[in-house]
Amino acid sequence: MRSKSSTFRAHRAVTTLATLLAGALALSACSSSDNDKKDNGEKSGGATGSTVTLPKLDGAHLEVAAVWTGAEQANFKKVLAEFEKRTGAKVTFVPAQDPIINFLGSKIAGGQPPDVALLPQPGAIRQAVQKGWAKPIGPEGQKELAKNYSQGWQDIGKVDGKQYGVYYKAANKSLIWYNAKVFENAGAQEPKTWKDLLTASQAVYDSGVTPFSVAGADGWPLTDWFENIYLSQAGPEKYDQLAQHKIKWTDPSVKQALTTLAQVWGKKDYLAGGQDGALQTEFPQSVTQTFTGGDQPKSAMVYEGDFVQVNIGETKAKVGTDAKVFPFPAVGSAAPVVSGGDAAVILKDSKAAQALAAFLASPDAATIQAKLGGYLSPNKNVPVSAYPNAVQQKIAKALIASGDDFRFDMSDQAPQAFGGTPGKGEWKDLQDFLKNPKDVAGAQAKLEKDAAAAYGNGG
């Protein structure tokens, strides 16, 4: 069993951010490009007005590994290019695969670890520390963290009280995006509760459009579906207990959440391509097929975080007009707020690696990527005006205003063998449940068996 860490102690409530988001996302906002000239803390490309002091690193070479692909990878490379420009170092991006701990293990075994890795799970940070791979963040990085981050976001990157991770990227994973034209044609309203969501889904279906795209080919979005329902329905205390495997997946609260989830997943006509089609749909496709096809897209809604905007950008749809968003509806007494994120962890300690960690903890780095869209920073000193449209500006403002009032993604807190491995553990068990949503008891038994094995081995 993994020891309890500050990750779980940092987050006390979910209502503040849920309330903020409910108001923020009700708007039908469009682009506000003129805003990115307003804030005196904002730089053009981050090249001037620096807030972080970086050393000269001529001749230094760094490798940075992350699982990011497509536009997300391309945008991050622009941040690395700015670091190169300021320091004279050369930085190579290394594409990684899930589970990243296994990927890094093979690199380390071969004597070629990257200098820095972006780890998408607190569980992965703990594993990297336990294996002796991770190196503590130095004074400059810690200084930037103290200046720019709430205590909760600092604590998520700590293991046994020592700072190992810099949370460069955050995610609000409690959002449902929808095709505005389809909703308009169907007379559907933005739902506030789960019951309202089912009502809107039926209205959309009656209008001739399939309600949902579900990215079943990728296991991680399925875990996020479950977590939002579970957090809202079972409450924060049960959520923390299940995240730590202090209660079993055979608990009645899990049965209730899976039964609720089956109200959508169990209706073949509510899923683009049915259950079989959903299991063949990868995440990017789940988004693009919701916002292409005019008045007859393959689906009306797609669930996932703020980063959906990156994939919407690959279509002709405009965020705030064609593509709108509402908070994940309340299943219980309060709407859920589930957050995720990616932390920079140093694997090869050096002056250059520590400088990059400090840079990624600064508003300079995050502001560059914020302007490019599809990105959310937990850094409280990134100007809200840096985000490229009013919808994302409101999401960013709500995240910062919430302080520590959120719950971190449950599967990301788990050992990667359970919560972060394609084709195994929770990812595979929920894919099997999507295939057969009637078998709640069978899904619970599989989840508990896999969880017990992963947590029992210490991750």
The two domains 6-172+338-408 and 175-327 share their CATH topology (first three levels equal) = yes
Residue 10: both structure tokens together: 């940092």
Residue range 132-147: average pLDDT?
98
Does pLDDT of 13 surpass 90? no
Residue range 184-197: average pLDDT?
98
Q: Which of 100, 449, 9, 427 is nearest to 245 (CA)?
A: 449
Contact 64, 116 (CB under 8 A): yes
Q: Report the distance separating Cα 392 and Cα 386, nearest Å.
A: 10
Domain 175-327 indexed as CATH 3.40.190.10: yes
Q: Map out the domains of the chain as residue ranges.
A: 6-172+338-408, 175-327
Contact 364, 52 (CB under 8 A): yes
Q: Report the distance separating Cα 304 and Cα 172, nearest Å.
A: 8
Over residues 46-82, the pLDDT tens digits come to 333 458 999 999 999 999 999 999 889 999 999 999 9
Residue range 170-179: average pLDDT?
94
Residue 41: both structure tokens together: 């803390």
Mean pLDDT of the chain: 89
Q: What is the pLDDT of residue 253?
A: 98
Q: Which of 164, 90, 133 is nearest to 347 (CA)?
A: 133
CATH of 6-172+338-408, one of 3.40.190.10, 3.20.20.70, 3.40.50.10880, 3.40.50.920: 3.40.190.10
Residue range 223-249: average pLDDT?
97
Percentage of the chain modeled with pLDDT above 90: 77
